Chains A and B, each alone.
Chain A
């Protein structure tokens, strides 16, 4: 190699003490990495801190002043409601239980009587008198007992008769303090029942859509990962062998991962169209479904979630394939050859030789895939926009809905910040596992 500058120190060790400042390893190193640190501090650390601050204000789009409101965006309970679903009316003889359940509407009646300064309502069915509620007002007691008697679905489980509120639970009143609600639980509901306290309020934790978004995020993430492996492992094994056209097929398989989902998602929208869906066309023409019963993929909550999972698997399994393939290719040929000579068949070679060696990289692909699904916004936004009726909202799309569309910046920031702790736990958990595995 031609010397770039005429050599100065021809013999002996380089004179360290005479090196210019930036010729020393430390200062040079810091200088080179400084732009990255500054950039990421200014545009990740600072907005992240701002996000935490925003989530503690009532900031909204267009408001000139933001007020500090503490943790109210996260959780603010304004009242507690005592509600109950199932009431055990009778527990005893099987035949008697069946008779009570069959006859309760014709035979049963509500009797309300004063009990001290309160009123106690009981159900009288045949020879049974079952006290059910006790309230301050006579009408309240009668009303609640009548509802239990007439409006609920009375079911028999063994010797038990259970009055079940299917759609909307029965409310025993709203209270300002949790203690009051708990007192009422002890005093008002006399019959054995499943009661719980529902918090009403303005914090995101009191928002039923938020809870749904958390559930959907978990469903969307963990519902897809195993399927991705289920698709990725056979693909990787098939691509591992040398065959003609291997490069081409590998290249084609990765295309879903390369094209922006906002663009390829348009084709999925068209595949999932309510009238012209090609899936429906194929099913109708194969005689599997009738034209009257075609699937409305994006109009039904369960089908919409299922569609999202399919699209996520479609987009993610090529990545899983490629990462596993890299793991397989890194296994030395001799090891597999030796196993073959030792008489291991293909399945045994896979299970006892290749699988254990690929496991760490499998976990890495899983880690990336989990993080990717967990923070995904694009797929959901493109395919369902959180619909129908917010039923497929995940944390990221709900944060967008609340923070940008509705303009409640503070609350939106609070929603998206919920992603952070779950991410930290997942990632550190998996990294810990990997570290143990590598030792």
Chain B
């Protein structure tokens, strides 16, 4: 009984102690998530609590927009152009808002941000210039920011990032696995120096190399293509994964190798059929890291790729979702949340590998 209480006390103390740190660590994600579901009218309403989605504005009304007949219009009958449930526009800053109603053949154009929930106008009534003919309600919370992403190259960027990541994982493993085995297990002249030299490439990070590298990919005529990324990313994944894997290879008992060789296997067969199965967790860790590192990369992708269509996800979101000084916060947060998913999934599935990789990478 006493020990039970004691363990609960330990639980509570640990949770309480960690809460402030967790709030700090996770708040930006919470904030992005809440924002991504808010209709613009709510997003820019300072009178409501921004930490939660408000159902109604400060006057107690659902979020809505008045439909005003422009002064230059003739009097006439109102007919509807849009239906309830239609996605209207992504934001109040849309440069080409769609038509929302028709008065005697003349269009009234938006902008109303979000998906329509309700139109408050008696159909067939007469509209007079300068008059409010009714109002339009939008959904709040809304999925319109997420729906909007299919009107941007978002999924194309996602594809570029995923493809690059997979290609980089492949190249990295092909180079780093044999390299790490050789450096960790085989004795030959220069073995130690090569290992150190590979480690020292940490001293020449992409922030030093991006300018000459941009000339290099230009010279190879692969600038502006995914190949420039597939070629450049292994420069940081290979050294990292080689060092990571060397730790794992050192942990393989020497006897099983000797036994295989005595049994007549060639060295290559021994490596493929005996050693690699043993270090599979290490290889998985290396693959996860190669993928995460290449998914996170920014400066090469920013420098080498200039066409909107070939951008990677991080660059696409940060560069193309902003027009001049105008940030489209709703779609920006929606794309950030969706864009984080690949790494979150990989991370969630391999939490223990990931954390062991973080520490072996740093300590070996």
Contacts and interface: CB of A to CB of B under 8 A. Distances in A.
A409 B234 CA distance: 24
Given A235-B18, A261-B296, A251 B351 contact: yes
B318 A266 contact: yes
A235 B214 CA distance: 41
Contact of A4 (B216, B260, B315): B260
Contact of B259 (A1, A6, A234): A1
Given A40-B198, A323-B358, A5 B207 contact: no
B207 A399 contact: yes
B359 interface: yes
B39 interface: no
Interface string A365-384: 10010010001111001100
A95 interface: no
Interface in A248-270: 249-270
A29 B187 contact: yes
A417 interface: yes
Contact of B28 (A254, A264, A317, A323): A264
Interface stretch (A19-27, A84-92, A189-197): A19-27
B71 interface: no
Dominant secondary structure of chain B at its interface with chain A: helix
Contacts of A345: none
Contacts of B26: 252, 255
A231 B17 CA distance: 12
Interface stretch (A125-133, A158-166, A237-245, A300-308): A237-245
Contacts of B283: none
A234 B203 CA distance: 30
A404 interface: yes
B238 interface: yes
Identify the interface centre among B7, B216, B234, B363: most chain A CB within 10 Å of its CB.
Answer: B363
Contacts of B315: 262
Given A249-B22, A255-B26, A413-B211, A32 B178 contact: yes
A253 B23 CA distance: 9
B204 A5 contact: no
B142 interface: no
A348 interface: no
Interface stretch (B102-110, B116-124, B127-135, B333-341): B333-341
A409 B198 contact: no
The size class of the interface chain A forms with chain B is: 35 or more
B296 A1 contact: no
Nearest to A247: B351
Nearest to B236: A44
B263 A4 contact: yes
B18 A409 contact: no
A115 B184 CA distance: 81
Interface string B308-326: 0000011101100100000
Contact of B234 (A43, A375, A413): A43
B198 A276 contact: no
Contacts of B179: 32-33, 35-36
A70 interface: no
Contact of B50 (A6, A249, A278, A396): A278
The size class of the interface chain B forms with chain A is: 35 or more
A401 B215 CA distance: 16
Interface stretch (A45-53, A98-106, A140-148): A45-53
Nearest to A237: B17
B317 A243 contact: no
Given A36-B176, A265-B318, A278-B50, A420 B203 contact: yes
Contacts of A322: 355, 358-359
Given A4-B263, A6-B264, A250-B355, A271 B31 contact: yes
Contact of B29 (A3, A35, A267, A419): A267
A29 B354 CA distance: 29
A271 B51 CA distance: 11
Given A1-B259, A25-B188, A32-B182, A255 B25 contact: yes
Contact of B239 (A6, A40, A266): A40
B210 A39 contact: no
Contact of B208 (A31, A36, A416): A416
A48 B204 contact: yes
A317 B24 CA distance: 11
Nearest to A428: B203
Contacts of B32: 264, 266-267, 270
Contact of A246 (B14, B27, B235, B269): B14
A362 to B, nearest CB: 11
Given A255-B26, A258-B344, A276 B211 contact: no
B354 to A, nearest CB: 8
A349 B325 CA distance: 54
B327 A420 contact: no
B242 interface: yes
Contacts of B11: 243-245
A4 B265 contact: yes
Contact of A378 (B10, B259, B298, B313): B298
Nearest to A412: B211
Contacts of A40: 198, 201, 235, 238-239
A241 B14 contact: yes
A54 B215 CA distance: 10
Nearest to B202: A371
B303 interface: yes
B181 A32 contact: yes
A352 interface: no
A317 B303 CA distance: 29
A357 interface: no
B356 to A, nearest CB: 8
A263 B336 contact: yes
Contact of A238 (B17, B178, B194, B335): B17
Contacts of A433: none
A265 B332 CA distance: 11
A253 B21 contact: yes
Contacts of A113: none
B60 interface: no
B14 A258 contact: no
Nearest to B313: A263
Interface in A392-435: 395-396, 399-400, 403-404, 409, 412-413, 416-417, 419-420, 423-424, 427
Interface of B: 7, 10-11, 14-15, 17-18, 21-22, 24-29, 31-32, 35, 43-44, 46, 50-51, 174-176, 178-179, 181-183, 186-189, 191, 194, 198, 201-216, 231-232, 234-235, 238-239, 242, 259-269, 273-274, 292, 295-296, 298-299, 302-303, 313-315, 317-318, 321, 327, 329, 332-333, 335-336, 339-340, 343-344, 347-348, 351, 354-355, 358-359, 362-363
Pairs of residues from A and B, 5 with the lowest C-beta to C-beta distance, nearest first? A262-B314, A29-B186, A36-B179, A32-B182, A32-B178
Given A4-B264, A47-B209, A241-B10, 19 more contacts: A25-B187, A33-B194, A39-B238, A43-B216, A44-B235, A48-B212, A50-B215, A253-B22, A258-B292, A262-B315, A264-B29, A267-B333, A273-B329, A276-B50, A317-B21, A378-B314, A395-B207, A404-B303, A419-B208
9 contacts: A29-B191, A36-B176, A250-B355, A251-B351, A260-B296, A263-B318, A322-B358, A375-B205, A413-B211
